[in-house]
Amino acid sequence: MPVTAPVYLYADPRSCPSCRGSLLAHTEDDRHCRRCGVPLDHDLAVDVFAALQGVDRLAGQLRLAARAVPAPQPAAPAAPATAAAPAAPVWTSSLPEAPVRTGVRTSSVPAILLGLGALCLLVAAVAFLAVAWSWLGVGGRTAVLVGLTAVTGVGGVLLRRRDLRVAAEAIVTVALGLLLLDVLGARGAGWLGDLTGAGLACTLGAALAVGGGVLWAVERRLAVSSLAVVTGLFVVQAALPSLEPLDGSALLVAGLAVLGFTGLARLGRDVGRPVLVAAAAVAAAAAWCDLLGTALLGAATTADRADALTLAGLWGSPDGVALVAAALLLLAPLALGRPRYAVLGCVAAAGTALTAVAVLPVLDDGATRTALASLVAGVVWIAAAHAAPSRLRLAAVVVAALSLAPSLVIALGLASQALDAATAPDDALRLDPTDLLASPWLVVPTVLATLALLLTLVPPRPLGAWARGSAAAVAAGAVATLALHPVPLWTVVGAVCAVAVAFAADALLRDDAAALVQVLAAGAALAGAGGLALPDPGLLLLPLVLVTACAAVVLLLGRFPAATEVGAMVLGPATAALLWTTADVAGLDPALAAVPVLVVLGALALLLPRLELEVPAALAAVVAAAVAVPLADDVAVSLALHLTLAGALVTASSLVHPSRRPLALVGAALLVLATWVRLADLGVQAPEPYTLPTAVALVLVGLHRLRGDARAATRTTLLPGLGLALVPSLLQLLVSDPVSLRALLLGAACLALVLAGARLRWSAPLVVGAVVGALLTLVELSPYAARTPQWVVIGLAGTVLVVVGVTWERRVVDLRRAAAYVGRLR
């Protein structure tokens, strides 16, 4: 984001105080100007900068004094807009910043003084009338009232014509206040009869409106006069319905007030008086709210008396007419102007209000009638949106959306109830929906109306996508309607499966990206059908068979993007779920249900060696085995069986497909684990049955590698197998009798390895045989070492230490002699 540099007139820290050259390229180490060479840290440079700051302050005061007639100012030195302000030069570090002006603005002083003066005058007038009214005669009273009011009014007009706006507004405010005091004084003298309450309010409001109107007619620039007219009329409008001759005319008065204030706002707009426009608009809005509230209160009272509000009763009553009028009066703001946003907003507001008035009588007749009325109103406005010109279509769409909202909310509530009923069937696997929110037959029409509404906003291109999306929505609505009736569970599951298969079949005929989305949606629908069918394993087979078949067809025949990958990823888990459910339906022991899953998934991996198929299939197989093994009577036998099957299948895959050669290690590991589990189950404690088969296999693999690759090292090919063969037996000797047959055989094996390694010149057999043989010798010596006297051990330790110390010192002496010899060389 660019940084705007500050603008200086004279005291510019970015310029040299002597030549005014730019200092932007200078660094903190530069003490002289690169252009003229003057020292920037000299005391005189500081004095020059301080003098320039004083010039800036004087220039600012000059500009304030000449505000009425601004003089041309010298152009500020140009600075790069994107460059950050440079570091302050040396001479600016010791100077205070220029003071910033604070306090009350100059133009605010007269406003404050005149406001206080006007308030004092009004208070003085009230005090004068309260004290002097009793001893003034009729002539004196009349002269005082009329004279003061006229003088202040004329004075305000004259001040405004001399362009003293604030003074004129204050004096006119005093004049209008005196006018109200005149009315109150006349009432106190009995000139106006016995005025109280609404009558007095009407008189005061009328006087204020007339006085403000006269002043506005003489001088239209007076804002207080505009406010006085609007305020007086609003007071009259609020008080008129309370007068006895106009009792019961509140609706008529409020409606006429809205029209009157709208006319005043239009007048203010035509003559260019924004204060009158704003004040009249606020008053019109308040009058409209009064009209609406009075009409609604009357309609509610009528409904309470008749125990129900009917359409004929509403439209035939003054309250209904007033509600319609209030709705139509929402178009009144268009009298002030017709920009596009204002037209759309007013039309939408008026249409929504009319619709609300139309459906008001049925709102307390239950959710079904409310949704039906909302649906009918929405359809009407949708038709209007299609027929309306383009500039008004958005307004009709907004009204249609708001009209459809109650019906759509009720339809969503019914869909939620349908889902609850489908997921909780009774013991006979029948749906039992109770306490429905509304009639189930409202769901599909609401879906159709919503689609028609969307059609007004989004053009139906491409048409095929629109048709498929609409069909899916209608089908979902139909299934929800079916689930809201007491039907068998299989009917709902079958309906969902039929819709999903139809959409999947349609997607298989296309090759666009939308087909992928459609297939995924169909798969999700089949998964949902499977969730609904969980209470009945036999019924669950239907969605599982369909999803498995769809995955296979998509894998083999799909033409849309990512068809092969999606089909392969779904096929494995779907097949596993199908086989598990089939085993459950057939009555197979749950502990053996994972066996066919492993076999079939392994066969799939052999036939279709694809990573996106093998990984999900492997995960599904692991889940199936993890569920089945704990269910067996003999967990160890079941675990060994599943590990053997898995190891055999993985090894077969590595042998059949050259690209899967690394899986041979995984298969071997699974087989070894299966063997170990079985040996542990049989109670075998010796390590050799666990380790020797694997060690022999590793050694054979290493020998095969050495035979085929002359450059292969024995430490990487033979060392793992030899270590696995010898080390466990050596460790077993540490915790058992060292003098045993195991020790004899282990020693013979070490001797054979040493001889073979020396003969063949292989490092791995030689090193492993020597190390393990040496450790075996020490183990065999341990019983006799324990019988050796302690002084022998201590003596041997001392001897070793002495030999090491002597050798160390000898090496140090030799090093010193060598250093001295080198030092004597020339």
pLDDT tens-digit profile of 516-530?
Answer: 888 999 999 999 999
Q: In the prediction, which pLDDT does 289 show?
A: 92
488: three-class secondary structure by DSSP: strand
> DSSP per residue over 187-202, as a string?
HHTTTT-S--HHHHHH
- Tokens of residue 244, six digits: 């006895």
Give the pLDDT band of residue 497 (cuts 50, 70, 90). Answer: very high
714: Cβ–Cβ under 8 A, 6 or more apart, which residues?
702, 706, 762, 763, 764, 765
Least confident of 90-104, 125-139, 246-260, 633-647: 90-104
Q: What tens digit of pLDDT does each residue of 242-258 get? A: 777 777 778 888 889 89
> Rounded CA gap, 524 and 52, in Å?
79
Evaluate if residue 213 carries a pLDDT over 50. Answer: yes
Average pLDDT on 658-677 reads: 76
Q: In the prediction, which pLDDT does 143 show?
A: 66
484: three-class secondary structure by DSSP: coil
Q: What tens digit of pLDDT does each residue of 20-45 get? A: 777 777 776 677 787 787 787 776 77
- CB neighbours (10 Å) of residue 196? 8
Q: In the prediction, which pLDDT does 315 show?
A: 62
767: Cβ–Cβ under 8 A, 6 or more apart, which residues?
715, 719, 757
Q: Among the ranges 247-251, 327-331, 731-735, which has the highest mean pLDDT value?
A: 327-331
Reduce the secondary structure of 542-588 to three states and give it as a string.
Answer: HHHHHHHHHHHHHHHHCCCCCHHHHHHHHHHHHHHHHHHHHHHHHCC
Evaluate if residue 323 carries a pLDDT over 80. Answer: yes
45: Cβ–Cβ under 8 A, 6 or more apart, which residues?
17, 18, 38, 39, 90, 91
Q: In the prediction, which pLDDT does 63 show?
A: 74
145: three-class secondary structure by DSSP: helix
Mean pLDDT, all residues of the chain = 79
Average pLDDT on 768-782 reads: 79
Between the alpha carbon of residue 453 and those of residues 353, 356, 393, 401, 459, the distances in Å are: 19, 19, 11, 7, 11
Least confident of 22-31, 301-310, 505-514: 301-310
Evaluate if residue 461 carries a pLDDT over 50. Answer: yes
> Rounded CA gap, 493 and 542, in Å?
9
Query: Which of 410, 309, 393, 391 is CA-nearest to residue 351?
Result: 393
Least confident of 292-296, 304-308, 566-570: 304-308
Q: In the prediction, which pLDDT does 76 show?
A: 44
Evaluate if residue 324 carries a pLDDT over 60. Answer: yes
Q: In the prediction, which pLDDT does 825 show?
A: 57
Q: Which residue has the higher pLDDT, 818 or 131?
A: 818
> Rounded CA gap, 12 and 52, in Å?
8
> What are phi and psi for residue 39, nearest 5 degrees?
-75, 125
Report cis status (omega within 30 of 0) of the bond before 462. Answer: yes
Give the pLDDT band of residue 123 (cuts 50, 70, 90). Answer: low
Provide Rg for the chain, Cα atoms. Answer: 51
Q: In the prediction, which pLDDT does 527 show?
A: 92
Q: In the prediction, which pLDDT does 541 show?
A: 92
Indicate the DSSP class of residue 434.
-
- Tokens of residue 355, six digits: 């619709």
Evaluate if residue 131 carries a pLDDT over 60. Answer: no
Average pLDDT on 539-554 reads: 93
Q: In the prediction, which pLDDT does 798 show?
A: 62
- Tokens of residue 351, six digits: 């249409």
CA atoms lying within 13 Å on the CB side of residue 365: 16
Give the pLDDT band of residue 84 (cuts 50, 70, 90). Answer: very low
Q: Among the ranges 95-104, 159-168, 334-343, which has the highest mean pLDDT value?
A: 334-343
Q: Among the ranges 127-131, 190-194, 656-660, which has the highest mean pLDDT value?
A: 656-660
Q: In the prediction, which pLDDT does 252 show?
A: 86
Q: In the prediction, which pLDDT does 91 show?
A: 43
Give the pLDDT band of residue 822 (cuts 50, 70, 90). Answer: low
**Helix 223-239 × helix 250-271 angle, to 10°:** 170
Give the pLDDT band of residue 164 (cuts 50, 70, 90). Answer: confident
Q: In the prediction, which pLDDT does 135 show?
A: 59
- Tokens of residue 436, six digits: 């429905």
> Rounded CA gap, 201 and 232, in Å?
9
Evaluate if residue 139 carries a pLDDT over 60. Answer: no
Indicate the DSSP class of residue 363.
T
Distance of CA 552 to the CA centre of its chain: 38
Q: In the prediction, which pLDDT does 59 show?
A: 79
Q: In the prediction, which pLDDT does 107 show?
A: 44
Q: Which residue has the higher pLDDT, 429 or 310?
A: 429
- CB neighbours (10 Å) of residue 773? 20
Q: Which residue has the higher pLDDT, 193 or 106?
A: 193
Evaluate if residue 104 carries a pLDDT over 50. Answer: no
Query: Which of 184, 192, 176 is CA-nearest to residue 231?
Result: 176
> Rounded CA gap, 679 and 676, in Å?
5
Percent of the chain's residues with pLDDT above 90: 17
Q: In the prediction, which pLDDT does 86 show?
A: 44
Evaluate if residue 102 carries a pLDDT over 60. Answer: no
Average pLDDT on 151-159 reads: 78
Query: Which of 178, 128, 125, 116 is CA-nearest to residue 150?
Result: 178
Q: What tens digit of pLDDT does each residue of 735-747 get? A: 666 667 777 887 8
> What are phi and psi for residue 383, nearest 5 degrees?
-60, -40
Q: In the prediction, which pLDDT does 303 show?
A: 65
Q: What tens digit of pLDDT does each residue of 371-411 get? A: 999 999 999 999 998 888 888 888 999 999 999 999 999 99
- CB neighbours (10 Å) of residue 285? 14
Q: In the prediction, which pLDDT does 412 show?
A: 92
Average pLDDT on 318-336 reads: 86
Least confident of 2-16, 464-478, 663-677, 804-818: 2-16
For the entire predicted model, the pTM comes to: 0.64
- CB neighbours (10 Å) of residue 728? 16
Sign of CA dihedral 354, 360, 363, 368: negative
CA atoms lying within 13 Å on the CB side of residue 318: 13
Evaluate if residue 81 carries a pLDDT over 50. Answer: no
- Tokens of residue 134, six digits: 């009793």
- Tokens of residue 735, six digits: 């915790």
